[in-house]
Amino acid sequence: MTAKIVAEGLSLRYPNGHEALRGVDLVVRSGELVALVGSNGAGKSSLLRCLVRLQEPTGGRAVTNGVDVRRAGKRQLRRLRQDVGFVFQRFNLVDRISVFQNVVHGAIGREGTRCVVPAFCTAAVRTEAMECLDRVGLAHLAGRRVDTLSGGQRQRVAIARTLMQKPRLVLADEPVASLDPAAGQDVMELLRSIAVERDLTVVAALHQVDFALTYTQRIVGLQDGRVTLDRPTAGCTAAQLSAVYGGDQQQLEKVN
């Protein structure tokens, strides 16, 4: 399988000396659904953001969708970000406009700035936006303002907007952290089913061990900016994964 992500010795050190990433090595292949697990400050979000240079790595190498991220120029980096869907914990939507408008904005990278105003888009783009909303179960709310929706509905809007990008790779940074358990379950089920349908590669940072065990194929654990666990989900238990959070070296050795 083609590698969608290759990180080699990837590091991130802040000016104050804090090391968010310490020599991370990671390969994610096409079609994989991977969970990043670990406690707050373990480096999950930093890793995802470095993979598309939303944060500037300070060492090592990252190749995402075939692009050497640290060496990419502005134009190449812009194209890379257009090809990678990024789902944020806080949705990153425009609250005061409609659900439909937010989803159409996902086509800006490939269709141009005319998609800022849906009326200026082609009929094909508008139809596609409604199809994406239908896929996440929100076509009936297309005209509603985003700030009237629940958290789970907002995250589904964000996923529909990501689908408008037509990405082959999706990075999800704590996509269910701010949702109640039922809404979180719905969002994870949606991500998994869409990944299968569209042959997407998905890397999701998750706090919820049970979601990682239920919805992903592979689990990568981070502690203090280092990879301490990397194995298929099958055979992992909640107790073993909890070692990633608690630093239980004996349990980590068992699961590895």
Residues 1-32: pLDDT tens digits?
Answer: 688 999 999 999 999 989 999 999 999 999 99
Q: Any residues with CB less than 8 A from the CB of 88 and at least 6 apart, and which? A: 158, 173, 175
DSSP state of 26: E
CA distances for 140 relative to 14, 32, 134, 187, 232, angstroms: 45, 32, 8, 18, 38
Residues 99-125: pLDDT tens digits?
Answer: 999 999 988 888 787 777 877 888 999
Structure token pair of residue 133: 């909303």
Structure token pair of residue 116: 């800022």
Residues 44-70: pLDDT tens digits?
Answer: 999 999 999 999 999 999 999 999 999
Task: Say if CB 111 and CB 120 are below 8 A apart.
Answer: no
User: Any idea which architecture 3-255 has in CATH?
Assistant: 3-Layer(aba) Sandwich (3.40)
pLDDT of the residue at 172: 94
